[in-house]
Structure 1
């Protein structure tokens, strides 16, 4: 994924993760101090998730490996 968008399989896994927690994407975003619009864009494959808030969302969702500053 470093040079492209997340795979559909990774995105589906992230959606399942949120669903298993009984949360909407907006609720999950707010619990993790993220913008809901960024989380929706990541889950829909509209962001590359290379840096910034989209990177943080992708790491927390398990879409990509990496570290996030807390």
Structure 2
């Protein structure tokens, strides 16, 4: 299974008080940093198309790579946040 790499400057397992993002907040973070979705996905070994689907809210992100993408984008809590 592929390990989830955090966003730049984020610890691997962000604390719950750091908060989750909405899809629009995640998109705004890409705009603010000048990072493309494609570059972000490639750097972490994720599918670009699947990353775009997650950002568009077209995936439930219950398991697999879509869930890993949602956790990496801080759209969903990681498993260590749920302990």
Give the TM-score range, shorter chain: 0.7 to 0.9
Q: TM-score, normalised by structure 2?
A: 0.65
CA distance in 2, matches of 1:26, 1:10: 19
Matched, 1:16 2:17: no
Structure 1 residue 27 and structure 2 residue 39: aligned? yes
Tell me if 1:47 matches 2:59.
yes
Q: Greater helix percent: which structure? A: 1
**Which consecutive residues of structure 1, in runs of 5 or more, have no partner in the other structure?**
1-8
Structure number, greater radius of gyration: 2
Count of residue pairs brought into register by the alignment: 60
Q: Residue by residue, what CA displacement relative to the aligned partner does 1:11-66 show, whole Å, maximum 9, x if unpaired?
A: 01111222233211111100111000110000111000110000000000010101
Q: After TM superposition, which residue ranges in structure 1, 4 or more long, deviate above 3 angstroms?
A: none
RMSD in angstroms over aligned alpha carbons? 1.8
Contact 1:25 1:40 in 2 (8 A): yes
Q: Which runs of 5+ in 2 are unaligned?
A: 1-20
